[in-house]
Structure 1
Amino acid sequence: MLSSEIRYFLAVAAAGSLSAASEQLFVATSAISRQIQRLEAQVGVPLFRRHARGMVLTEAGEIFARHVRKSLLDMEYAVAEIKGLQAVRRAHIRIACTDGLAFSLLPRLLADFRAENPAVHFSLKVTSSQSVAEQVRAGECDLALQFSLHPERDVEVIASWPAPVLLVMHQTHPLANRPINLAELGVWPLALPEQNTTVRQLFDLSCQMSGSIIEPVLTCDNFSALYHFLRHTPQAITLCSHFTLLCGAETDGLIMKSTGVDQLSQRTLQLQTVAGRPRSAALNLFLSFLTSQLESVSAR
């Protein structure tokens, strides 16, 4: 159903070079090159920047690729509807999320949902907040879960829940059983996520507003690494949301507690999907399941 020009264009955009696309498609590089040149002539502008080591989409190429992918997704829904596959039979749901949500919450929820709906398959992309929003807008995922500080454009928010940043420490930590002043954290080994996360952005803002200078002993963009560092360092402290750990903290002898700092409460967990996009029966069922489960977690 795709023209050869579009098929070759998407292959080169994904592979990054004519030779790599040629290997994937089993088509000569010269044939792919001719079709892309023909497509660029039709569009009227270059879609790729040619380099010695490959080809990179131009700004026009990015726009064209985004609209092509949206059209393909619309086509998939149309074919599914025509074939009567809107019922929850075989279905594939693509999810994008930020790192903390992939640590415990989503794997558990996916397992629980598939126990009742084994015909539904999932793919899960873990990436940054900025990239999650872009994937939703580009129609590259069916739904997204992310911690957010502000509304996202061209994104439909199905539901949202308060997701304050909490301290995580051992139950035997000296700060475990008393109120905490933010400045006190500077004397303990602090493990923090990278600065492109909402946790770190809110923490750094809180420190700046209180005049506290706190240097972490470990920074990492993977919460699993922070968590296991904490488990093996009795005096350490890390930060996350109650959605990230669910019930795992108590099992590992850890507690979660608030600092009472207002800035650390200014974010939400959002369940997002593509605005105006038709949804399959399987996706609607999964969205209802997620909403119910996350309401329960939030209340708890």
Structure 2
Amino acid sequence: MSLISPAALLFDEVARLGSIRKAAEHLNVSPSALNRRILNLEEDYGLKLFERLPRGVRLTAAGEVLIADIRKWKADQERSKVRLQQLQGLRRGHVSVGLMECLAGDFARTLFNDIQARFRQFTLDIFVGGTALITEKILNSELDLAVCFNVPDRHNIHKLKVVEAPSGVIVSKEHPLAGRSNVPLSECINYPFILPDFSIAARRLIDSALGASGVQTVPSLVTNSTGLMKRLIADNRHIAFLNAGNLMDQQRDAGLEFIPLAGRLLAPEELSLITRSSQGLSSATSAVVDLIKAQMDSLPIAPKSA
């Protein structure tokens, strides 16, 4: 159903064809009935809208003003239809997202709440794992999107957004290092420490930094769970080599703090929003991409690219 009056549409058709007879044939109405509608329209406006010519009609100055408005209304209505169709397409949809463990709290909850608030009939799968496993699932089309650290550059992985997370250590607020603006790597090894295992991409960066510093030491624990690492450093003795992005849950991480490493031995980590390069994004997935990008912009880590 058109929101534009039938009279306006008839008027536009006569103006387009320059003939009441031709417009009547096209609209499957009688010429006399169409002419009456035009005369009534002219009477309503109190102005002649067409000049009657031997072989048709021509718009008057008043008619030119009116036809410009009618065609603008039609164009606006078409744009509205497109937007409504897009919105209708977003009412239903399913998106699968992979997240690192550190994102499975406030980040995941905010994403879920935003989707529920805007797109009530969306369904969402969230898979939690390490970068290697998440990346594999993206490549196998088991996930539509993923947010993870230190994604390797590959031709079949498309990075939709990247932010940098400073590298350093996480300690309890009662630890002797707490409150420092930064700490040298050489000083970190004076304390028992916990390392991520090789399923977490940061481990290679950490080993490289420790090797470059000439440090020979053994960690107290190696684990694939950043959550466990953070729980264990609550003993006020241990430290954990983790980036700033691992302290994203304000309540859960309230007793912890991040301390950047001094110098450049340990490079910043990259948090990336990724998809498979060959995968076209559905309207539902594109909507979720926008929500995730907005969340990444709000993280306490500086954007590298967007």
Question: TM class, shorter-chain normalised?
Answer: 0.5 to 0.7
Is 1:212 the counterpart of 2:215? The answer is yes
Tell me which of 121, 144, 150 is aligned to 2:152: 150
- Residue ranges of structure 1 left out of the alignment (5+ in a row): 1-83
**For residues 207 and 263 of structure 2, what CA distance do their matches in structure 1 show?**
12
Distance 1:246 1:99, change over 3 A: closer
Alignment of 1:117-266 (within 5 A): 117-148=119-150, 150-178=152-180, 179-231=182-234, 233-248=235-250, 252-266=254-268
How many equivalent pairs are there? 217
Distance 1:143 1:251, change over 3 A: closer
Classify the secondary structure of the residue corresponding to 1:87: helix
Distance 1:85 1:285, change over 3 A: closer
Is 1:286 the counterpart of 2:292? The answer is no
- Over the residues paired in the alignment, what is the CA RMSD in angstroms? 2.6
Which structure has the greater CA radius of gyration? Answer: 2
Query: Structure 1 segments of 4 or more deviating over 6 A?
Result: none
> In the alignment, what sits opposite 1:64?
none
String of CA shifts for 1:61-96, please: whole Å, max 9, x gaps: xxxxxxxxxxxxxxxxxxxxxxx9971122211112
**For residues 202 and 261 of structure 1, what CA distance do their matches in structure 2 show?**
14
Classify the secondary structure of the residue corresponding to 1:152: coil
CA contact (8 A) 1:167 1:240 kept: yes
**For residues 162 and 186 of structure 1, what CA distance do their matches in structure 2 show?**
25
Classify the secondary structure of the residue corresponding to 1:88: helix
**For residues 85 and 113 of structure 1, what CA distance do their matches in structure 2 show?**
14
Classify the secondary structure of the residue corresponding to 1:271: strand
**For residues 125 and 151 of structure 2, what CA distance do their matches in structure 1 show?**
26
> In the alignment, what sits opposite 2:98?
96
Greater CA drift, 207-216 or 187-196: 187-196
| Residue 145 of structure 1, CA deviation | 1.2
| Residue 243 of structure 1, CA deviation | 2.5
Alignment-mate amino acid for residue 147 of structure 1: F
- TM normalised by structure 1 equals 0.65
Alignment-mate amino acid for residue 174 of structure 2: T
Alignment-mate amino acid for residue 257 of structure 2: I
Q: Percent identity?
A: 23
| Residue 200 of structure 1, CA deviation | 1.6
